[in-house]
Homo-oligomer: A and B are copies of this chain.
Amino acid sequence: MNSGRFAISVHILTLLAFSGDEWTPSEYLAGSININPVLVRKELSNLRERGLVLSKEGKSGGSRLAKPADKLFMSEVYGAVKQKDLLGKGINSPNPDCPVGRKINDHLDNLYGDAEKTLLASLGKMSLAEFCKKFE
């Protein structure tokens, strides 16, 4: 997975959760996270594809949650930002003449798959609403 994207997405969603049904502009989000608004918009674009947020263009536009915060789970955020395998890539081009090299990536994939299932189960226990409560 990509280093800071999970954190940025959670931060965005937390702010949107606190904004309720207001349309929050990306400049505002960028100000709290302290990163470039374009990065925020890229992340919003990704969250939108995953059905986690809605955006509205034009004046007085912005973004808001696409569903109530108690129906939105950290496992969904993980799924939205995940690109790489949890534990990193496998071996780039293992030696096919070696019995271990030949099969290592398949076995690593299984291991990673199992680990990820466990992780998703753990993240699935925390809703955005619950996460937001911690700020009170």
Contact = CB atoms under 8 A, between A and B. Distances in A.
Contact of A107 (B88, B90, B98, B131): B131
Interface residues of A, number: 52
Contacts of A108: 7, 10
A38 interface: no
B32 A100 contact: yes
A12 B89 CA distance: 15
Contacts of A31: 95, 98
B115 A11 contact: no
Nearest to A96: B34
Contact of A119 (B88, B115, B131): B115
A12 to B, nearest CB: 10
Contacts of A6: 87-88
